[in-house]
Structure 1
Amino acid sequence: MALKIDAQLRGFDLCQVPAQAQRLEELGFDAAWTFEAAQDPFLPLAVAATATEKLELGTNIAVAFARSPFSMAGTAWDIQRASRGRLHLGLGTQVRAHVERRFSMPFDRPAARVTDYIRCMRAIFDTFQTDARPDYEGPFYQFRLMNPFFNPGPIDHPHIPIYLAGVNPRMCRAAGEAADGFHIHPMHSVSYLNEVVKPAIDEGAKTRGMGVDDLDLQTMVWLVTGDSQAEMDAAFEQVRRDISFYGSTPNYRRMLEHHGLADLGKTLSGLVRQGAFDEMAALVP
């Protein structure tokens, strides 16, 4: 599988997105990705789609459970049409607190739920493209109603690659079971990938006669760069802050445990509860 170099599309001001996306394309980047935090992840992609010709575009990630499968499918279909087939739809589950208390949506059995979510979306895509009668009913989602008024109709590039993000083995397995690719969180290491992530993806992929090598692995990394030692030091400290933030979250605890740092995760969580955020980075080795 070919190695591609991607960039992050920081579309905080939509007016700046066309120039930013065009610049990334001119520099030779293969893809530009957005993420869902303080801004919607899809609007910058829609703008970039009309301003570029070759740059692949994707979400890394959009929160799946914040939207219904039909709502997500419709947005993805529109961007796939506008980009002429360049969309990569990256989904993540987020965590229980945010899904239930910020988005007011259910979160039970997230790995099984997101697997059903992806399969439901694929059924919706099929109806969009072929006008097939909807008959999907899974353990969490259903798609059994459509009429021409609500069907956006076929497009030239109907296959939209769906990626799933995760850290822990169960979510990695879910990606193998249902997704086209996997978003590897920057909170990882080579040994964690080889000993935990890839075997779990492979296990899931075998349920549909595939293997981990059949999925596209999109890997984010933390980089330390700078034109001076002072800039390098500042960048290094920012990475330590990022690691301490994610390490304080139980969802990322497994990676620390893998490296014998379980106590560090518990300590970081305690500092978060105390509001002592400024003390966290110094604890990262």
Structure 2
Amino acid sequence: MRVQLQIDGAPQRAAEHARELAGIGADGVFSFEGPHDVFQPLVIAAGVAELGLMTNVAIAGPRSPLHLAHAAYDLQVYSGGRFRLGLGSQIRVHIEKRYGAQWSKPAERMAETVGAIKAIFDCWEGKAPLNFRGRYFTHTLMPPNFVPGPNPYGPPAVLMGALGPIMTRTAAEVADGLLVMPFHSARHFAERTMAAVDEGLRRSGRTPADLQIIGQAMVAVGRTDADLRAAIDGVATLIAFYGSTPAYRPVLDTEGWAELQPVLNAMSKTGDYAGMRALISDDMVRTIGIVGTPQECAAEIGRRFGAHAGEVCCYFPGYRPSAGDIADLVAALHRTP
């Protein structure tokens, strides 16, 4: 199984961190759109290490498909064909209040964004004139002096992050790959995610070979009781944050914890993050996250995704595992079918 690790998004640290992750055996790095830009750390990493590069995810709603296409196309050229464009929709409150953008029908809008980007790529590749006309975007003008020409490495893959059945189904219909939301359980992935994938492929007339599935996991890795305690606490804090979001309730519902979601949501509005964390049991961490030694974590990731995904993005939220533990986890995952 191939392994992607998150790169430090701070521009002054991205180069050193990319070299470190390459040194411990990672196959690639992904950037997160949080406190820093999602593209810049990958530009930096592209120049210092031979790693795969992926946005995970670039928020599509506030951006024009043309902006996304340019950034992706140029990164694909600069990296020598190592870039993939991962897109996500975010939730309404962030789109409207953090990005200052408009919110509407996220799955429909995401599908149109992917279609528009691919139409722009086709134009630049000389396959077809630009004539994309959708509900949200219209792209019909591309004079020759604005065309970068065919990409020597081919257009980058366009992936979609998804959790709910509609967005997951949409990803299976239109995208080159699905980034499985890290907030999930083995049961949710097997019963709900894969059912939506199958439906999307059926609707679009595509086959499983047309869609790459990339698993994602919140990993609490450690060898000592103290290290595992710190790791579990870090993952639990992120689970509490994700669990407060109404759109993520189906995961809790699958495991019989649906009543917890409105409680977490109410506490998040008062800023009681410590109280939210206290509601997340170790059993919840082991169900939604991945917990154990490097070898145990690799085995659990293989059991959860192995039949459907040959690649995983590992997160280590809220704590810092040792470089040795990460290296051993990567090595164990490389041995996982």
- TM-score normalised by the chain length of structure 1: 0.94
The answer to whether the 8 A contact 2:107-2:167 is kept is: yes
Instruction: Identify the residue that residue 20 of structure 1 maps to in structure 2.
Output: 17
Deviations 1:249-277 (A, max 9, x none): 11111111111111111111111122211
Alignment partner of 1:38 out of 35, 54, 62: 35
Alignment of 1:150-189 (within 5 A): 150-189=146-185
Alignment of 1:238-249 (within 5 A): 238-249=234-245
- Does residue 260 of structure 2 align to residue 264 of structure 1? yes
Instruction: Identify the residue that residue 119 of structure 1 maps to in structure 2.
Output: 115
The alpha carbon displacement at 1:283 in A equals 1.0
Instruction: Identify the residue that residue 311 of structure 2 maps to in structure 1.
Output: none
The alpha carbon displacement at 1:235 in A equals 1.3
Moved more, 143-152 or 248-257: 143-152
The answer to whether the 8 A contact 1:165-1:182 is kept is: yes
Instruction: Identify the residue that residue 46 of structure 2 maps to in structure 1.
Output: 49
The alpha carbon displacement at 1:199 in A equals 1.1
Instruction: Identify the residue that residue 5 of structure 1 maps to in structure 2.
Output: 3
Deviations 1:194-243 (A, max 9, x none): 10001101211222222345422222212222353222211111111111
Structure number with higher relative contact order (C-alpha < 8 Å, ≥ 6 residues apart): 2
The alpha carbon displacement at 1:141 in A equals 1.2
Instruction: Identify the residue that residue 105 of structure 2 maps to in structure 1.
Output: 109
The alpha carbon displacement at 1:102 in A equals 2.1
Instruction: Identify the residue that residue 250 of structure 2 maps to in structure 1.
Output: 254
Alignment partner of 1:193 out of 177, 189, 192: 189
The answer to whether the 8 A contact 1:88-1:162 is kept is: yes
| Root-mean-square deviation over aligned CA pairs | 1.5
- Does residue 276 of structure 2 align to residue 280 of structure 1? yes
Q: Mind listing any 5+ residue stretches in structure 2 that lack a counterpart?
A: 282-337
Aligned residues: 281
| Aligned residues with identical type, % of pairs | 35
The alpha carbon displacement at 1:21 in A equals 1.7
The answer to whether the 8 A contact 2:73-2:155 is kept is: no
Q: Mind listing any 5+ residue stretches in structure 1 that lack a counterpart?
A: none
- Does residue 58 of structure 2 align to residue 83 of structure 1? no
Alignment partner of 1:203 out of 195, 199, 203: 199
The answer to whether the 8 A contact 1:125-1:158 is kept is: no
The answer to whether the 8 A contact 2:77-2:153 is kept is: yes
Moved more, 210-219 or 133-142: 210-219
